[in-house]
Amino acid sequence: MATCNDTAATFISPSAKDLAAYDVTRRDTFTNLSEVWAKEVELYSTNPDCIKMLVGNKVDKESDRAVTKKEGTDFAREYGCLFIECSAKTRVNVQHCFEELVLKILDTPSLLAEGSKGNKKNIFKDKALQSDSSATAAEVLKNKESRFLIRLEYL
């Protein structure tokens, strides 16, 4: 499922994760989450272990804020989502967002199991990635299958 009803509310939904981003300065983008995204995840998600993450964007525009952090936290709690606020413009919490998502996926073994239900894939399958010691945490790369592939920092 990949839906985008508004450029300010972006939805990315490969089988391991459902990520919803809303604009903290536009209440309508937040309202659409409960009316559209949450219902679509419930209807179309093929993976009961799917990690859901809610991201409030544009926190650099605090004076224009229309959605409080508490509202975001309450929504995330109600729908069982991870929650973070960030600013794509200033990059505050952007990397942390992806790190949290990766850590939660790693804590869910069924999302890493090759051949499990749904369209899940082992994120470590690509041998070129495994041997690349320069990978950094939450580095996002293009991937034809899931829009992005998260590379992890190797210790």
* pLDDT value of residue 113: 62
Q: pLDDT grade, residue 8 (50/70/90)?
A: very low
- Range in 44-48, 88-92, 134-138 with the lowest mean pLDDT: 134-138
Quick check: 39 pLDDT over 90? no
Residue pair 9/73 in contact (Cβ under 8 Å)? The answer is: no
CA 55 from chain centre, in angstroms, equals 7
* pLDDT value of residue 131: 40
Interval 61-84: pLDDT, tens: 999 999 999 999 999 999 888 999
Domains and CATH numbers, the chain: 10-113 (3.40.50.300)
Q: Which of 34, 13, 115 is nearest to 22 (CA)?
A: 34
Residue type, 123: I
Instruction: Tell me the β-bridge partners of 6.
Output: 9
- For 89, other C-beta atoms within 10 Å of its C-beta total 12
Interval 68-127: pLDDT, tens: 999 999 999 998 889 999 999 999 999 998 899 888 888 887 777 644 444 434 444 443
pTM of the model: 0.64
**Average pLDDT score, the chain:** 71
